[in-house]
Every structure is written in C-alpha cells, then in structure tokens.
Amino acid sequence: MAGARAALRYAKAVLRLASDQNTAEVVNNDMKLIATTIAESKDLSDMLQSPVVRSSDKKAVLLEVFKGSDSMTTNLIDTLISNKRLALLNDVAASYNQLFDELKGTQVAKVTTAVPLTDDLRVKVLAKVKELTGKDVEVENIIDETILGGFILRVGDIQYNASVANKLDTLKREFTLN
C-alpha cells in the first residue's frame, strides 16, 4: 500500500513538471512504453525488483532499453535510483498514464475478448462507451481465451460481463441450487 502511494506521488510530481514544460504527452508515451515493456518482460521486471543487482547496472539496462526517452523520463529513473525506489518504476508509469488520462478527460475501456477485436467492433465499442460515459475513450483489448466468447467491458469501476463463460457459470449455479 505504501508503495502504491509513493508511486502516485512520483507520478503526480512528474506530471506537474512535464505539464509545466509542455512535454506531458511525450512523457505519457514514454510511460506507456515503460509499463508495457516491464509487463511483457519477466526478466526486466525481476531485475528491477532484485536487491542483488546493483543500481548502476539497473540504470544502464534501463537507459539502453528506453533509449531515446524524454529527459524527464530519464530524470525520473535517476530520482528513483537515488531514492532507492526503482522497484516502483512500473507503478509510477501506470499511475502517470492514469493521471494523464484524467487530466485530458479520457478514459480507458478494457475489453476482454476471446479473440482480437476487429476494427468495426472497436468503433462500436468506442461509440457505446462514449455514449455511456460522455468522455473520450481509448479501447484496450485484452485477449483471454477462457471466456470462450462474448466480452467483458470494464470502464473505470463499471463492469459489464457478457462472456459465454459467465453465462455458463450462472446456469451452473442455477442448476446446483435447484
């Protein structure tokens, strides 16, 4: 819990500085790249969490992996290293993205499907979510074959589950109760 609060504080500070320097959009793209790269690479994630790997080695790896990042992003990495909080980098990046979206008035709609969304379906989801929330929305497609079919839509704290797996579970519960 303390780590999440610290990550949020770092993210707020970086967003404030980036907004003052008109680089918030560029830093947001860097943070998206950092969050997805760390999430997709178990080795990178393990290295960041490891107390055995020296900070100088972690910094060298991060600067090589995220070469071409904005100076604000590089300064964040330096600050996290000097404060011995580098393990929070992924959380800081995710918090920054969320705060940036709130600042811009956009929301992320997470659509979980068994197969990738088609462009046509993506447009329909965007229109429906915009109608429901009144905000600009980005669609993030999560593929989970265990839902069998249908979809699960999550926007903020609202969730709509229209998956085949959910319907089968509901039927199973009804039959076991009777």
Tokens of 40: 């997709």
**What are 87-101's pLDDT values in tens digits?**
999 999 999 998 998
The pLDDT of residue 79? 93
The pLDDT of residue 162? 80
Task: Kindly list the domain boundaries of the chain, sorted by start residue.
Answer: 2-102, 106-177
Residue 71 reports pLDDT greater than 60: yes
CATH for the 2-102 domain, from 1.10.520.20, 1.10.20.140, 3.40.1130.10, 1.10.3720.10: 1.10.520.20
Task: Count Cβ neighbours within 10 Å for each residue of 148-164 and write b for 16 or more, e otherwise.
Answer: eeebbbbbeeeeebebe
Average of pLDDT values for 131-160?
Answer: 81
How far apart, in whole angstroms, are the C-alpha atoms of residue 103 and residue 96?
10
| pTM listed for this prediction | 0.70
